[in-house]
Every structure is written in structure tokens, then in C-alpha cells.
Amino acid sequence: MKILIADSMHPSLFNMLDEQGWDYSYHPKFIRDDIKRALPDYEGLVIRSKTYVDHELLSGAEKLKFIARAGAGLDLIDLDEAKERGIEVFHAGTGNRDAVAEHALGMLLSLFNNILKSDREVRKGTWDREGNRGVELMGKTVGIIGYGNNGTATAKRLSGFGCRVLVYDKYRDNYGDAFAEEASVEQIMSEADILSLHIPLTKESRNWINRDFIERFSRPFFLLNLSRGEIVELDAVVNGLKSGKIRGACLDVLENEKLDKLTAAQQESFDYLRTSDNVVLTPHIGGWTHESYVRINVVLVKQIKDWYTFVSA
């Protein structure tokens, strides 16, 4: 079985593939055209976030049997196209869930305790204790939308801080557990102090968090987005921050993460967010730890091995 690895991967992957006796080619600098030209010779494709895998890219890839995404989201793969071609799709949703959950808590605690703001002030010689008085996480009600790998890992950690956690997931039934209560979106809007998003990017979820959604909350709340930036309209977040409906925001993802190619409207929203003391921004690194970099490989290789064992039996 020949596998094309078309993105930068932790070197631990190569030993894992060697142990299985699989042939692979590592081309982290391949661009879209390179991938398309090479694919007809391979049974497997391993990617991260480089290119969209669609009909055009897969045309001619008659030997391709699987696509493995080194990450959690699958919005970069046309799943209908893959299914029609009989191509299996794997992703490492469990590989970085703990990293995402820890990052979510880190952002939230930084925001609640003014850690970034007070750090900047102390470095400049300002010792302002009262101006940086914090807010405690204990006792807060957190609404989580999306109760998959990342959502469950986040709820587990929030429960350890004495939070009440309400969760909604349209793709699951009877998913309440020891860490969270099953709820509707309406109940979350009515009772949550904090909203944390852990959902995939789909046609339905794109631009879901807009001005109307935010205004439907019964009380001011804190917003966390560690899923996909296109789910949240940044101008709606800015409007919510200005009106006081959003008390603060933790954003690991943005609707346009190419900061040198923002539209005029996106630039205006971004300029407000980056100068706001009640906003914490990180560059899409929620699942980007040294440990998850290796764990993603472990998860992917196990999935491929289990599938290959089954189809070869």
C-alpha cells in the first residue's frame, strides 16, 4: 500500500508506517497541482490543512482508498465525493481533544483574571491591583454547543472548576453524563454565563453566531470559539462587545485567518478585537501541542491499520 503524505507531519509517523510495512512518500511542500498529479499512483493520502480535497483534486485518483486528516475537522474534505468514490475518510478527533480542552480553560482563565492585561501593565511599570480584580469560574453555568471529542473533554475539565455545564448536540441523543446536562439551545441562551463552541463547519453552522443569535441570550455572556472561525461573524462579536451583551471573548479561530488579506470590514472588526482588554486571541493553536502532534499520528495509524486489516481479511 502506497501512501502520499502531502503536509508537514511529526517524524514519529514514519516509524509507525514502517512498522506496518507500508510504502509512503513524504512531500510536505507539495501544492495542490503537485498533489493532483501524484495521486493516481497512491492508495492513501495524508493531509493536514493545505488544500481542499474535492472532485477536481480526486479526478484520476482511481487507486485511492483512503484519506487521513491529521486533525479533528473534516470541512476540507468533500465527504459526499469521497463516499461516492468509495474512499474511506479518517480523522484524528481524539488526538488533540485534550489539547483543545486545556487551551479553552487557559484562555478563559486568562480572560477572567486579566492575566494578559496585567502582564502588559506590570512590564510597563504599572501596579494596578483593583483595575485587574478577577472573576471566578466556580459557580458559573457554561453552555457547550457540540458534544463530541472536544466538547466532552472541555466539559470534563470545567466540571472540576465547579461549573454547571449545559450541552447541546444536534447529532446525538441521550448524551448527558457525569460532567454535563443535556439541554436545548434555548435553555443555554436562557441560563448560560459562558458559551463555548465545539462544532464542525457546515452549511448550517456557517455564520450561525450572528447578531440575532447573540441578542437572543437573556443575559450578558462570555464567548469562546475553538472550532472554526467561519461559524462566528466577527462584526457581530464586536457589536456584542460594544453593547455589553458579550462580556468578553476568547477566539482561537477567525473567519479569515490570513491577516494580510482581510477585507476592509474584517480589518475594522479585527482592529477592535486586538485592542480590546476583554478579548483573548490565539492563532488557531487550540489543539497544537507537542503531545498532540505525536498523538494525532498514533490515532490515524491505528484507524488505518484497523481498516486495512478488515478489508484484507
- List the catalytic residues: 228, 257, 284
The span from the CA of 148 to the CA of 276, in Å, is 31
Strand-strand pairing, 221-225 and 164-168? unpaired
- CB-side exposure of 249: number of CA atoms within 13 Å? 33
Q: What is the dihedral sign for C-alpha 247, 252, 254, 257? A: positive
Contacts by 269-278, CB closer than 8 A, 24 or more apart? 269/234, 269/235, 269/237, 269/238, 270/234, 272/238, 272/241, 273/234, 273/237, 273/238, 273/241, 273/249, 276/241, 277/114, 277/117, 278/111, 278/241, 278/247, 278/248, 278/249
Residue 195, strand partner residues: 143, 223
Q: Please count the other Cβ atoms lying within 10 Å of the Cβ belonging to residue 207.
A: 13
Q: Are 3 and 27 in contact (CB under 8 A)?
A: no
The span from the CA of 186 to the CA of 118, in Å, is 36
Burial level of 210, CB count in 10 A (0-12/13-18/19+)?
middle
Q: Are 286 and 252 in contact (CB under 8 A)?
A: yes
Please give the grid coordinates belonging to residue 295.
Answer: 498523538
| b/e map 164-175, b = 16+ CB within 10 Å | bbbbbbeeeeee
Q: Are 145 and 120 in contact (CB under 8 A)?
A: no
